[in-house]
Amino acid sequence: MYDLHTHTIYSDGELLPAELIRRAAVLGYQTIGITDHADRSNITSLVHTLDPMRDTARAYGIRLLVGVEITHVPPVEIPILAHEARDAGADIIIVHGETITEPVAPGTNAAACACTDVDVLAHPGLISIADARLARENRVALEITSRGGHNRTNGHVVCVARAEECLLAVNSDTHAPSDLMGMAERMQVARGAGLTEVESVSILSGKNLPFL
């Protein structure tokens, strides 16, 4: 199993990285991405702070993807910050998409989908066909999320992604221990978003995600 979108005490999560990794290991995860909220003030320091945790993750049998979630920045800054995170050593770069539950700047989805350094567009809300087409061209995965509020548009995301043959990833956007999902729950999120059983199995395996 994988979860590419989780948070720790280094942004608005409740857990130390080590506890998050341990809880994921107990649930049977093979890969976990720690992607705390980032902007110009902390993007490089987040990557450097988490880098030593790779050894901790390996000790628990997990592959840690050190990453960031670029959050609420002006769209023009997205490619700059994504490149900065990559240069700092980030394994995975997520952008906080235009969820319907927060005042994300219009144009964020487009800027993220056009950026070749971005791996995942989190909770992209009512994403347009044009932006989904950019995501497909640049191999940016669109997120299906279990997070309350953000998950209201999962069905729309699936419909658009299916039409444009976009990559999809199922993530928890974990902030608290109870947010981490087992495999049965992950399947429920995928099927509840409108994916078929065959599509769900494929997406939940992560085999089509280039960064896995």
Query: What pTM did the predictor assign?
Result: 0.98
d(CA 76, CA 48): 24
- Once rounded to an integer, what is the mean pLDDT over residues 18-38? 98
Q: What percent of the chain has pLDDT over 70?
A: 100
Could you tell me how far CA 180 lies from the centroid of its own chain?
Answer: 13
Distance, CA of 5 to CA of 86 (rounded, Å): 17
Confidence of residue 79 (pLDDT cuts 50, 70, 90): very high
Q: How far apart, in whole angstroms, are the C-alpha atoms of residue 98 and residue 202? A: 26
- The CB density around residue 23, as the number of other CB atoms within 10 Å, is 18
Tokens read off for 22: 């341990």
pLDDT given at position 70: 99
Beta strands of 54-119 (E only): which ranges? 63-70, 92-96
Identify the band that residue 112 occupies on the pLDDT scale cut at 50, 70 and 90.
very high
Token reading at 26: 């107990």
CA 143 to chain centre: 6
Sequence-ordered list of residues with C-beta below 8 angstroms from that of 81, at least 6 positions apart, any chain: 38, 39, 40, 43, 70, 73
- Residue 176, pLDDT score: 98
- Predicted local distance difference test score (pLDDT) of residue 72: 98
> pLDDT > 90: what percent of the chain?
100
Per-residue burial over 106-116, b = 16 or more CB atoms within 10 Å of its CB, e = otherwise: eebbbbbbbbe
Over range 131-148, report the average pLDDT.
98
Residues 138-145 have a mean pLDDT of 98
Average pLDDT over residues 7-19: 98
* Spatial distance between the Cα atoms of 147 and 188, rounded to a whole number of angstroms: 13
**Domains of the chain from N-terminus onward:** 2-205 (3.20.20.140)
